[in-house]
Structures are given as C-alpha cells and as structure tokens.
Structure 1
Amino acid sequence: MRIPLSWLREYVDLPAGVTAAQVEEALVNLGIEVDGVVDQRASVRGDLLVGRVVEVEELTGFKKPIRFCTVDVGREQPQEIVCGATNFAAGDLVAVILPGGVLPGGFEIGARKTYGRMSAGMIVSAREIGVSDEHAGIIVLPPDTPASPGADARPFVGLDDVIFELEITPDRGYAMSVRGIARELSHAFGVPFRDPGVGDAPGATAEPAYPVVVEDTVGCDRFAARAVRGIDPNAPSPEFMRRRLTTAGIRTLGLAVDITNYLMLELGQPMHAFDMARIRGPLVVRRATPGEKLTTLDGVARELDAEDMVICDATGPISLAAVMGGETSEVQPDTVDVLFEAAHWDPVMVSRTARRHKLFSEAAKRWERGVDPAVPLVALDRAVALLVEYGGGTTDGNVLDIDHVVPPRSLSIDPTLPGRRAGVPYTAARVVETLTAVGCGVSTVDGTLTVTPPTWRPDLTDPADLVEEVIRLDGYDKVPSVLPVAPPGNGLTAAQRRRRAVATALAEAGYVEVLSYPFVSAADVDGPAVRLANPLSDEEPFLRTSLLAPLLGTLRRNIGRGHRDAALYEMGIVFLPRPGAGSPPEMGVERRPTDEELTAADATVPHQPWHAAVVLAGEVEPAGWWGGGRAAGWADAIEAARVTIAAAGVADERVTVTAAERAPWHPGRCAAIAVDGVTVGYAGELHPSALAALELPRRTSAMELDLDALPEAGVAPAPRVSGFPPALIDVALVVDEAVPAADVQAALVAGAGDLLEAVRLFDVYTSAQLGEGRKSLAYKLTFRAPDRTLTVEEAVAARDAAVAEAATRFGAVLRGA
C-alpha cells in the first residue's frame, strides 16, 4: 500500500520539522513494515522548471498536430521545444524539463532535431512525470500560480511529496487506509488525530434510497446506500484525487468510480457505484445458487458457489459482493444516476470467495482483514458530497441502512498481565492509557479491567491481543532482551546422529544432496497414498510414498540443463497410510481435545519413516587424457546402500545382497538389501520403460533404503590394530553364474578363520574357456595375526581352508587348478 505524507498530514498534526526517516522509524516501531520511502522530488532528475509559452507555431504536413513552441524558462534565451499537445496557448504556464533531465523510467531528455526543427527539452504531461494517468495534454498551471519562469516546477505539479510503501500484516486491516495509519502516527508522536471516519452522517430515512432486501444477515450484517441523480457524465475527477489514486497504483476510471476508490484508501471502506438506469427492480442480497453465472468487471464469466454472496436485481446477480462488481450494472461514460453502496461483509466469506475465483481485488484484501462496520454511513455521506461537488447532480436525502451488526464483545484482563508477559513494569494507569489510545472503552471492576474493543479493531478478540497493544504502543524497544537459560540436554538423539552420519557419508562418496517437495501426482504413487484435502497444486494432490519419484524429477531437470553426469541423494520422510485409518474426529477450538479424541486423531496419521535414496546417471569416473571414464551402474547403487548402512552403524557382515524383482528397477539388475535377514531397501538399474517415460538416459541407477528399519547401532568395539605385516593372497574361484558373489565371500570368511582381516572382490570374469554358465570371481584376501608375523605356511593354510569352504558350499574351483 502506498500512502503520501501530505494525505496523512490532513488528519494527524505531525511536528513541523519531522522527516520522512522519523516517520518511517515510528511506523516500524509500531509494527508496520515499511517496504520503501519514495521522495517524489527525486523521481525526476535534472531541471524541471516553470515555463511561460511565448510563441506557438503550428507545423503542417504531418499526420498529427505538431507545434513548435518558444518557452521562457528564466534563462537568457528562451527554449525552443517541439510539442504534440494542443491544450495550451501562448501565455500559459507549463512544466518544462531541460536537456540532461531524466523522467521516471530512465527516459533521458536531450536536444535533437525532430519534425525539421531543433527541440531542446520537453513540455511534460502528468503521466510523463508519474503524478497521474492524465495524458490527453500537457500540464497547464493555473494563471495565478505563484511562480515565475525558471522556478522549480516540482511543488506546483505534485512532485513535492513523500510516498510510504507499506506492507500490512493480515491482522491489521484497519491500517490499510489513511485513517488507520494517521491514527497510528498520532500514537507514535503524541499529537492530535482527526478521525475522518467519525461524523454527523445522516441515518436511515423512512423512504430508502433504493429498495433492498438482505436475505443473509450473517454474510452481510450491514447494507447502506444513497443515490445521486443528474450528474454530469463528462465531469472529470479533481486533480488531487487523480494524483492520489495514481500514487496508490489505482487507475482512474471516471468520477463516480474514482470517488469509491478514493474513500476506500482514505477510510478503509470499500464501496461500489451502480448505474441506476441499468438496475432492474429491487436489489436482493443473498447467497448464490450453485451454477449461477456472473460476468464480472474484468470480463470473465464466473460460475458461482453456494457460499458466494451476490447482489441481485430482477435479472439475477449483478455483483459478486465484496469482491468485484458485474458488467451489467457498472457505471458507464454516459451514466447520470448513481447509487452508492457501502456494506459490511463476513471476512471469512470474502476470503473464500476471492480465492475460489482468484479475484484478489483491493476491496477483497480489506474485507478479509476486517473493515469497520461503523463507517458505511460516513463513507456514503462523503461520497455523495464529493460527487455533488465535482459532478453536479442532486440527492434527495434518502438513506438506506439495514443494520444487523453485533457490538464488539468485551474482554476482561488483569492490569498486571502485560507487565508479566513483557517484563516491563507497566502501571495500571499506563495500561488503561494505552488501551484508551487504541480506541477501547475501559472500565475497572474489582481491580480487573473490562475492555470493549473499538469497531475498527476486529482483531482484538483475546486478552493476549490487548497485551500486545499495550507493549506495542508503549514501545517494543522497552522490552528487555533477555535470553532464557537453556536447560541441560543430552545433545542429538540417536536418530539425529544416524541421519547426520548417513548424510556425511553419502556426500563424501560424491553425492549431492537435494530437497524435494513431498507432493506427487497419481502416476508417482504405487498403491495406497495420502491425498491432501487442500493441495498446493491439483496436479500433485498426493504425499509421496517413496523418495524416488521427486528425486528422479530433480535428476531429469539437471540433465535437461546440461548436467549429464549426476549423482544425487535425498533424505526425508515418506507417508504410508494406515489401513482402515479413516478420517480424524472433528475437534473445535473452544476447549482442549480429550485424550480419547487425540488418540483417535493420532490413529489416522500416516506412518512416516525416514528414507534415504540416491540416483546416478552418466559417468562416475570422467574420461580424460588419462584414459576412458566409467559409467554409473547398478553396482554403484548397491555400493551406495552399503555406504549408507555402514554409516548407520550396522556391521557389513550383517548385510546381505540378493537378486530381486521390484518396480521400477530392471528385473535382472535389481538387488534386495537386507540386514539380519530383513529387507530394508532395494538398489540397482532402473527399468528401460521407466527411464523412457521419465526421459532419463539408459543405465540410470537408483537406491532407496528405509533408515528407520535399520537396527539400532550398538556400541562399536574398538578396532583391533596389529603392528605385524599382513599376508596378501589373491584367489580366483570358478562357480556357477547364478551364485551370488556375496555368498561366495561369506563362505571364504567362514572358512579362513580369525586370521582373515579383510576380503574384497576385485574382478568378475566370464569366457568360453570357463564353460557356459560359469564365471570367475577374484578376491583379495588379507591375513594378519595380532601377536606375530604369519609364516607362509600359516597364510596358505588359511587360504586353503577358505577355498575349501567355498568348494563345499558352491562347488567352487580354483581357477587354473
């Protein structure tokens, strides 16, 4: 919201010497965010001067009127300027920007030849200097302007103001107006405030301004209207109004509509202007009938919902109440009879209607935050006065006011509560003073304050709100900044330490962490999934049951941007619905839920285990002058699973890897990862059809583990360190092709005994010489004794025992034997 300082000064007596920086600081201290402060004098750089037109020469031979003007700007020689406007004559005072000046938007002014004449400068219009949308002609200053040629033109064209750009929080609807901000500044500076929302506006008359029936007094608890007839349809909006609307970012649309927008900015009361000649019969305010249609002012035909409030005449809906008017009753360029409407609508209804129809109008923004229900008659009186003054016409004095507003509810508060909450010793008198300054009615009964919030503060619904107001007006800077003493703790939990260890291990292995949204489409879930009642996107209404779908989407996005070699990992929770869980019980906010209700609600919450997943594509070892690279494959995915399990504190001998079939992995290149015989995840190469659907390269591999399914890591024994040299022996065993290498390795470990320190598979070989269906597995065995150097005989004996065990279990034969 943009508000000029001059408008605020009309209602609050700010100190004469106050600066824009001091006003900004005061607003920030009151809890109002200031996005920016714009000094309009600086919006036009260079010389912007008052000039007097000395001579005008009409140039002919062009498709549009062109005039060559001589303008006195207070210099030794007058400026010669080519201008296309025709709304001025010799002797008029105009605003001139000289060469070297820069208009808003970075448009630099220079001296150049145009239309066959040299033009040095520009005679400016209101739009060109950003003070209004007026561009039919240049700015012509009144003859009695107290300025001579050569004077700075900024004060006379509206560029002598300071604009505050404010971001209003949702709970402070009253601050979305000049009235609200001026009141806040009066608190900050301790100066008088003249409330434009309070006045002697005429009340309802026996004869209404127009016949209206309100059928739903919950959605609309107040509806007021007044009529003005016989206005001049060509009457322009006054200059001050156009300028302020432009400053606020609102287009000028004609006098009647401009008045409603102007008063919305000034009083915070959204209004609507109807063309009375286009209304058929009495007006009815009601809920929409499902399926009804209305074409709003933006030209969109909208299908209405049963919750929407509408204003109807005999033809049907003519306005989407509190959000946007309809085309059939809008004010036209030839409108002579205007009906002003000022009402009070249910904020919840307006918020839902605006979101349902994606119509976030300035009116809807104010309604959903809360509007003062006591202002409609004052706003109508002001609107009628402005329209009569600037547009002519007459009013018959009839006023419609259907009022069902419920008075604000009183609150009780202990006067010591603000001090206890803030740590500041507020006296009871100070508490009463600040609440009274807010506009509350305060009375004391037996030491307890009974506070009635003002009508413009619908956000004050709880004693905590009153505490906040006391602290805010007294000054947030007075609240002591004292950090609480942190209670002693036990550090990270075991689960947190495990997740950090896994993340570190995967990062050290070359994987890059990504964070994905947990929302997925129906195509990304396999089996039951949790569907969101209010998803961010209708295309992704489900919660993920696996990390792979969003992770593969991230991989595709990176490959599409040229990162062809990628290794990504993610850790996060997945959401697994509980069978037959049903819906949670409905629980209100008027009391704490019972233990039974909480238990029933917890039973519907989906199971949310932590998973870890990786995806790989391209080369894991790049090619270069040193030789060829190595493409990522299923073995890398399995190794990532081993790295993850090891980082989780599970010993490698408890891990088994076996062939498996599970979508979306390739059935011949998928492994089930088990710990102590319990499957905890899968790894391998993804199925070609899945890769084609996702537009991912061939051989892309992935792994996903359930971290919560891993057993807790016990106390790790200290490693046994021997100072004696190892004995290194390689063995190559020929076995059937179907025998898993991990099973052969387990047999070697079992047969070698305690002298075997490590075993590693370093080669897999197949050839016709080995025979069909046979393969060679080469292992590197490391033997070492803790108390002596092994002899050759001891090492060979241990090796032979290992090979014998493999032969017994799988018929393994030493290659070459």
Structure 2
Amino acid sequence: MRIPVSWLADHVALPEGTTPEQIAEAFVRVGLEVEEVRPLAEVTGPLVTGRVMEIEELTDFKKPIRYCTVDVGNLEEDGETVKPQMIICGARNFREGDTIVAALPGCVLPGGFAISERKTYGRMSQGMICSVAELGLGDDHSGILVLPSGTAQPGDDARELLGLDDTVIELAVTPDRGYCLSARGLARELACAFDADYRDPAMIDVGEADDAVYPVHVEDLEGCRRFVLRRVTGLDPTSPTPWWMRRRLMLAGIRPISLAVDVTNYVMLETGHPLHAFDTTTLRGALVVRRANAGEKLSTLDGASRELDPDDLIICDDSGPISLAGVMGGASTEITDSTTDVLLEAANWEPATIARVARRHKLPSEASRRFERLVDPALPPAALELAAQLLVRYGDAQIERGRTDVGRPLLPLPITIPLALPDRVAGVNYGRGVTARRLSQIGCRIEVGSSEDGTAVVVADPPTWRGDLNLPADLVEEVLRLEGYHTIPSVLPPAPAGRGLTAAQRRRRTVSRALAATGHVEVLPMPFVSPQTWDAFGLAEDDPRRRTVSLLNPLEAERPELAGTLLPGLFDAVQRNVSRGMRDLALYQVGQVVQPDEHQVPAPDLPVDRRPTDAELATLLAALPKQPLHVAAVFTGQRERAGWWGKGRAANWSDAVEAARTVARAAGVELTVAAGELAPWHPGRCAELRVGDTVVGHAGELHPKVVEALGLPARACAMELDLDALPLIDERPSPVVSPYPPVLLDVALVADAAVPVADVAAAIVAGGGDLLEDARLFDVYTGEQVGEGKRSLAFSLRFRAPDRTLTAEEAGRARDAALALVAERTGAALRV
C-alpha cells in the first residue's frame, strides 16, 4: 500500500514538525512493515505549466513526432520575457489547448536528468513536455501529463501544483490487517501511535434506505452477505477528474482513467471498500448474484474471455454474467466516454470465495486483494454515498432517490477480558485506564464492569472493520502493540531445576559424536520417499518395509510417503554429492523412521473449536505409528585416500560393519556379526547385526542392481541399525587402565573356509578368559600350504593382568585355553 503523507495528514492531526521518517517509525511501532519512504524527487530550475498552442506533425521519421508551440506565460529570464517555447514531443495523448507541465532549459528532473536547448529531429527543442514518470509522480510513461482545464495558468510554478515536497510511504500489509489497505485504516493507526485526533472519512450521514434504486436478487447469501446500490444520473461524461484526486491515485500506483472510474478507485483507497460502477443503460433487467453455471463465459474489463467455474461468484442480468464478483467487472457494462447514468455497487463478499476466484482465473486486482482480507461489512452505504457526492460535485450529476440494500453482514461478537489481563501477559504494569483507552482508540465500544467473583472486566464490542478481533488474546495483543512492544522488558524466565539429558538422549549424542570422530559426516536429508524406491531396492511385494505412511499434503508430489528406513534419504545425499564431484563419501544420519503395523488405523480429525477430550487425545496417540530411532551410514569411493604415504583403500563391506561396531561400542553393548541376507544388500556380502538373539540391523555391500537403479557409485556399502532396539545402558563403569605391561602373542589357525571368522574370534575371546584384553584378526591366507577348502586366520592377542605383571607361563596357559575352545567349537587348529 502506497500513500502520500499529505493524504494521511487530512485525517489525523499530526504533531507539528513531524517528519516522514518519524511517521514511518510510528507505523513500525504499531506493527506495520514499512518497505520504503520515498520523497518525491527534487526538481531544480524552471518547471512550469504551459498551454499547447499549436502542433506541427513531423512525418519524415520512423515514428510520429510532434513539434509543439507551448505558451509558458510571461516568464522573465535574464531580464527578458520568455516567448512561447518550441518543444519536440513524441507523445500522442494531448491536443492543442491542453494544459501540460514543461521543463525548460536549465531544469533538472529526478534522476539528475538535465534539460537543455538542443537540436533534434531537425528542429530546435527548447525544453521537454513531461510525463508522470519523468516527474516522479508515478510509473506511467505511456503519455505526457495533461492537467485538467483551469487547473493552472501558463507560467505558473508547477512544483506547488504537483506537490513535489510530498513523501510517499509504502507499507507491506499483512493478510490479517486488511483495513490498513486504505487511508482510513492507516490514518487511524497513525493516530493511535501519536495519540492524536482522528477524523474518520467514513463518518457520513447516509440516511435510511427507503425505496430500492434498482432490483437485486441475491441467491447465494453465504457468498454475498450484503449488496448495496446507489444510482447517479445526469453525469457529464466530459467532466475531468480533479487534479488533486488524479495526483493521489498516481502516487498510490493507480492510473487515472475517467471521472466515474477514478472516483470508485479513490473511494476504495480512501475508505478501504472497493466499488464497482455499471453503465445503467447497458443493464437488462434485475441484477442477480449467484454461482456460475458450467460453460458460462464472461468478457472482463481486461479484454479476456473467461470460462467460468461453478464455484465462481458472479453478478448477472437477463443477458447473463456481467461481472466477476469482487474481482473484475465485465466489458458489456463498462463505463465509457458517453456514460451519463451510473449504477454504483458496493458489496460484502465472502473472503475465501474471492481468493479462490482470483487465483483460479490468475486475475489479482486491487478489489480482490482487499475482499480476500476482509473489508468493513458496515461500510458499503457510506462508501457509495461518498462516491455519489464526488460525482455530483465534479461531474454535475444527480443522486437518484432510494438505495438498494440486500442482506445483512456478519458483525463481530462482544469479547470479555479481565481488565488486568494485558498487564499479566506482558509482565508490565500499564497503569490505570490503559486497556480501556487503547481499545477505544482502535474503535471498540467499551463497557467496564465486574465479574461474579469481583474481578474488574472489560466488555469490548470490536469495530466492524476489525474482523480479526475474535478472542481475548486478540484484544491483549492490541493493547501491547499500541503501548509498544519495546516497553516489554526482555527478561529470560528462570530455568527450572532438572536432571539434564535422559539416558536415551545421551546415547544418541554419544553415538553421533563417535561416528563423527571416526571420519563420518552427518547429513540431514528429507524424510520423504517415492513408492518407486522400494522397487529399486528390490523389495518383495509383501515386504513389511513397503508399508509406509502417506502424507495428505506432501512437499513434493513425487515423494508422498514417510519411510521406515533412513537409507533412501542417504542415497539421495550420495547422488547430490556425486553429481557435484564428491565421490569419496562416508555419510551418516541419526533420525526417526515411521513403521506402521499391519492394522494401523488412520488418525482422527480432532475439533478445533475446543480442547480435545482425554479420550480423543488417547485415540489420536493410539493411531500414531511406531517411530523408532535409527542410525545409518553409507560409503562410496575411497575410504583411505592415496598419497605419498602409499596406496589408498576403497570402501568395502568391512567399513559398514565397523561403523555398526562403533555405534555399539558408543552405546555400551556387545554386537555380534553373522552372515545375513536382506535387500538392498548383496546376498553374499551382507552382515546381520545382533545383540544377543535380537537382530538390530544389517551392514554390507549393496546389490549391484540397486546401485544401478539408484545411480550410486559401484560397490557402494551401507549400514543401518535400530538404536532403540539396543539395550539402554544408563550407568556405564569407567574403564580401568592397568599400569602393568601386556604380553603380546600371535597365533595362526587353520579352519574350514566356510567357518565364519566371527565364530573363531568369539571362541578365542571366550577361551582366553579375563586375562585376554584384545583379539584382532590381522591376516587371512588361502593357498596350497593350508590345503584346499581351508584358510589361515592370524590373530594378534594381548594379555594383561590388572593387579600384577603377567608372566609368560600365565599368558601361555590362557592362549592354550583359547585355542582349545576354538578347536572344540569350530574345528580350527594351530597352523604348523
């Protein structure tokens, strides 16, 4: 909303000496967003009004050019009288006898554009005839500015006439404050900010509605809550729009057209209520307000033929649709240069309907912008009366007796709040009478009384233009807003004593830090997934992982589901990184997944007009699917990069298994690894991760078909673990570091190739007893020396006693015990 300061000053008694910057600051204080404070650009040098005396058409050029003789009055320059000026101009929207604005040589227009006498198109041009854009009054540069006849005499200084000392303030009005899309609303806010007197332009005596001025039938009283008509006859179609009105329209960003149209636009900007004007002579029978029928068409004022939707609200007569209600009028009843009989319409339309119509037809307008933000339902008679009086004053028209007024609008209901509620909410003692005074300033009718328990209360009737005031909290916000949010102290509330993080929260942080410390990078991909992902994963049709939760309003139509695994999001992150040249990746995520059961019931719709009951909340909670916490990682490219230190190493399934072990160690549990098989992993390179007898996850190399379907690098590996399935170790003993030296022994065992290494390692640990501190596989050998179907497994064993220096004999006995148990469980023997 753009508005000049001079217009605001007509309705509010600003303190003397108030600057535009102070006005902008006042708007900000009461919660409005100021986008720009633009002083009308300063013009220096001779800028005068002139009268076009003669026009010579120059036809020897590619575009039409006019050589104009302009009377600029009896100006004195260097002691000599300035004669009529000869000026070149390419505009076509003026004629001989018109009053224009001329910038003479020596004038400097906005933007530093200096005017000088110069030769152009073969003639000497002694100045420039100015357009609205060149003068900084608006954006219209389609033609030059033509002033109404009698506005000024040739030679008058144009600065005062144009009001170039004014300032335009542009504000961004939020949807809940549609009343501020008018001089009326903005001036009221300014009066509240300065505690100044305010004059409401809508306070007009409209009288009683007696006879209907034109027949109207409203079929849809939900879509059209009130429909008011006023008729003006005998309008002089040649009457120009007064200059002051044209200037205000241009500064607000609206191009003047004709008196009747300009008056409706001016009243809209003045009061906030859009109007529409029909040429009464073009109407055929009574007006009907209804929804459109399928297949109906309407030619709107912009020249487009639009096919109407059954949800569209339209105004019709016997000939069919003549207006798209609240958005744009029809071409068949348009005000023309010969219109003398005008039917003015002001209606109260249902906001959501107008918003849908404007968006459906891609036809945003100044009218729809206001209607979809709520307009004052009590305003139509006053807005029509103001428009009719302006047409009488400037167009020599007559107001016909009677007014059509159909329907009754919805009015705000009274709101009761404790008198001290704003003080309690803000934590500020505002003093006596502040609540009542501030609510009165915004237009509420106030009645102060007492409740049954003796508490002082305020009963406020919200004004009709504030449809956003419905709850006690809304009134509290108004008091706080007008008193100033800056008066509310910024004091942090004291933090209540607590027990810190829960054990589950500590475990989550520990796991994430452990992975980050071992070279993994955390990512936070979106949790949404496409149904086609499961086909790429190679899941069977009855796989429970295909059971997901669908979103009613997904951010992406192609990804409407919440998955029960973190892998799809990680694979998306890999794809994005690889497309940007990053191929060596070790990414991880810790997050919740959604796993609905087979008989999951949909969530119920809870009421919004009251607090849900305990039973309704219990039903809602019961409908929520399981959402366990998972941790997953994915590996591609080089896990160890090559350099001067040696060759690199490509990431493989062992890195995925080691990431799972890292998670288990951080969680304080023992993880058992065994061969497994689960899509999307490679059947022969998949590890099943167990804690006790419970499967908690899988790790390994992805299936080549999955890698190809998802566009991942070859031999990509992944791990996923159900963190909530791990036992929660709340209190962990601190590690004990022995001060005594270890005994290091290596053993090489020959076992069948089918025996899992994990089984051999588990037997060594179990047989080694308390003295065995660590067992690590460091070599695997197959060949003729160990025999066909056999392999050699070399382990490094570390023995240590916590209370003494361990002897070689003791370490040897512990090693022998470990080897005996290995032979018993796996059949492996010491390699000789």
For the aligned pair, the TM-score class normalised by the smaller chain equals: 0.7 to 0.9
Q: 1:439 to 1:689 in 2, by over 3 A?
A: same
Given that 1:81 and 1:121 are in contact with CA atoms closer than 8 Å, whether structure 2 keeps it comes out as: yes
Match of 1:208 among 213, 223, 233: 213
CA–CA separation in structure 1 for the residues paired with 2:353 and 2:571: 41
Question: Could you tell me which residue of structure 2 aligns to residue 24 of structure 1?
Answer: 24
Match of 1:716 among 719, 729, 732: 732
Change (3 A) 1:708 1:273: farther
In the alignment, what sits opposite 1:441?
445
Of stretches 379-388 and 28-37 in structure 1, the one that deviates more from structure 2 is 379-388
Q: Residues 519 and 543 of structure 1 are in contact (CA less than 8 Å); yes or no, is this contact kept in structure 2?
A: yes
Note the 1:34-53 alignment, pairs <5 A.
34-41=34-41, 50=47
Q: Where do 1:602-681 residues align within 5 Å?
A: 602-647=621-666, 649-651=667-669, 654-681=670-697
Q: Name the residue aligned to 2:196.
A: 191
Answering whether residue 542 of structure 2 is matched by residue 535 of structure 1, we say no
Matched, 1:95 2:92: no
Alignment partner, residue 268 of structure 2: 264
Q: 3-state SS of the aligned residue for 1:782?
A: strand
String of CA shifts for 1:737-775, please: whole Å, max 9, x gaps.
Answer: 443332322122112222221223344455576566554
- Alignment CA distance shift 1:244-1:52 (3 Å): closer
**Aligned 8 A contact 1:88 1:140 in 2:** no
CA contact (8 A) 2:109 2:135 kept: no
Report the alpha carbon displacement of residue 156 of structure 1 after superposing the two structures with TM: 5.3
Count residues with an aligned counterpart: 803
Partners of 1:778 and 1:112 lie apart in 2 by 99
Q: 1:125 to 1:471 in 2, by over 3 A?
A: same
Partner of 1:463: 472
Matched, 1:325 2:328: yes
Is the 1:680–1:705 Cα contact (8 Å) retained in structure 2? yes
Residue of structure 2 aligned with 1:593, choices 603, 606, 612: 612
- Cα distance in 2 for residues equivalent to 1:417 and 1:530: 43
Alignment pair present for 1:509 and 2:527: no
Could you say if the C-alpha distance between residues 137 and 600 of structure 1 is closer, same or farther in structure 2, counting changes exceeding 3 Å? closer
Q: Check if 1:224 corresponds to 2:240.
A: no
Task: Give the deviation of 1:327 after TM superposition.
Answer: 5.5
Does residue 1:473 correspond to 2:482, yes or no? yes
The answer to whether residue 795 in structure 2 is matched with residue 779 in structure 1 is yes
Please state how far the C-alpha of 1:326 moved relative to its aligned partner.
6.4
Deviations 1:172-220 (A, max 9, x none): 23223221110011122122211112212355442333x3211232332
Query: CA 1:804–1:318 in structure 2 vs 1: closer, same or farther (change >3 Å)?
Result: farther
Q: Distance in 1 between matches of 2:460 and 2:522?
A: 54
User: Is 1:807 aligned to residue 823 of structure 2?
Assistant: yes
Give me the whole-angstrom Cα distance separating, in 1, the residues matched to 2:610 and 2:578. 53
Deviations along 1:235-260, whole A, 9 cap, x unmatched?
A: 87666555545544556676655544
- Structure 2 CA distance for partners of 1:195 and 1:771, relative to 1, 3 Å: farther
Map 1:65-464; keep pairs closer than 5 Å: 65-66=64-65, 84-85=90-91, 93-95=101-103, 103=111, 124-128=130-134, 130-139=136-145, 157=162, 159-201=164-206, 204-209=209-214, 211-228=215-232, 244-245=248-249, 247-249=251-253, 259-274=263-278, 281-287=285-291, 299=304, 304=309, 309-314=313-318, 319-322=323-326, 324-325=327-328, 331=334, 336=339, 339-350=343-354, 361-386=365-390, 396-426=400-430, 429-446=433-450, 448-464=457-473
Q: What amino acid is aligned across from residue 325 of structure 1 in structure 2?
A: M
Q: Following the alignment from structure 2 to structure 1, what is the Cα–Cα distance between the partners of residues 44 and 362?
A: 45
Give distance in 2, aligned partners of 1:476 and 1:641. 52
Native 8 Å contact 2:101 2:129 kept in 1: no
Matched, 1:518 2:527: yes
The question of whether the paired residues in 2 share the 8 Å contact of 1:751 and 1:803 is answered with yes
Secondary structure at 2:470 match in 1: coil
Distance in structure 2 (CA, Å) of the matches to 1:776 and 1:114: 99
Change (3 A) 1:173 1:102: closer
1:33 positional shift = 2.7
Which amino acid is 1:559 matched to? Answer: V
1:163 is displaced (CA, Å) by 2.9
Is contact 1:578–1:605 with CA below 8 Å preserved after alignment? no
Shift of 1:542: 2.6
Do the aligned residues in 2 keep the contact of 1:230 with 1:392 (CA within 8 Å)?
Answer: yes
Name whichever of 477-486 and 308-317 sits farther off. 308-317
Return closer, same or farther for 1:704/1:58 CA change in 2, 3 Å cut-off.
same
Q: Does residue 20 of structure 2 align to residue 11 of structure 1?
A: no
Q: Is the 8 A contact 2:415 2:460 kept in 1?
A: yes
- CA drift at 1:711: 1.7
**Alpha carbons 1:82, 1:119 under 8 Å: kept:** yes
SS in 1 for 2:549: coil
The farther-off stretch of 475-484 and 676-685 is 475-484
Q: Does 1:556 align with 2:575?
A: yes
Q: Would you say 1:757 and 2:773 are equivalent positions? A: yes
2:663 and 2:116 mapped to 1: Cα distance?
A: 68
CA–CA separation in structure 2 for the residues paired with 1:583 and 1:157: 66
CA, structure 1 residues 759+218, in 2 after alignment: closer, same or farther (shift >3 Å)? Answer: same
Which moved further from structure 2: 739-748 or 127-136? 127-136
Q: Answer whether contact 1:95 1:139 (CA < 8 A) is retained.
A: no
Compute the displacement of 1:698 (Å): 1.9
TM-score by length of 1: 0.85
2:346 & 2:550 partners in 1: Cα distance? 42
Q: Per-residue CA shift, 1:557-598, capped at 9, x if unaligned? A: 232233333333333322333544434444434443322222
Residue pair 2:743, 2:806 contacting (<8 A) in 1 also: yes
Aligned amino acid, residue 467 of structure 1? V
- For 2:657 and 2:518, the matched residues in 1 are separated by 13
- Match status 1:698 vs 2:714: yes
Per-residue deviation at 1:516? 3.1
**Percent of paired sites with the same residue:** 52
Give the structure 2 partner of residue 576 of structure 1. Answer: 595
Please give the secondary structure, in 1, of the residue aligned with 2:550.
coil
User: CA 1:18/1:560 → structure 2, altered by over 3 Å: closer, same or farther?
Assistant: same
Deviations 1:101-122 (A, max 9, x none): 8739xx9999999768999997
Deviation at 1:626, TM superposition (A): 4.1
* 8 Å contact from structure 2 (residues 162, 247) kept in 1: no
Amino acid at match of 2:405: D
CA shift at 1:131, angstroms?
2.5
- Call closer, same or farther: CA 1:452–1:538 in 2, change over 3 Å: same
Aligned CA distance change for structure 1 residues 562 and 589 (closer, same or farther; 3 Å): same
Distance 2:235 2:223 in 1: 32
Classify 1:290/1:141 alpha carbon distance in 2 versus 1 (closer, same or farther; 3 Å): closer
Counterpart position of 2:761 = 745
Counterparts of 1:584 and 1:485, CA distance in 2: 37
Mapped partners of 2:716, 2:105: distance in 1 = 65
Gap runs ≥5 in structure 1: none
Do 2:209 and 2:403's aligned partners in 1 also have CA atoms closer than 8 Å?
yes
How far apart, in 2, do the equivalents of 1:127 and 1:766 lie? 88
The answer to whether the 8 A contact 1:415-1:428 is kept is no
**Structure 1 residues 233, 423: CA separation in 2 closer, same or farther (over 3 Å shift)?**
same
Report which stretch shifted further, 707-716 or 165-174.
165-174
The offset of 1:392, in angstroms, is 7.3
Deviations 1:38-88 (A, max 9, x none): 33337xxx9676279999998774212457899999998999997544659
Q: Secondary structure at the match of 1:103?
A: coil
Give the whole-Å Cα distance in 1 for the aligned partners of 2:100 and 2:813. Answer: 116
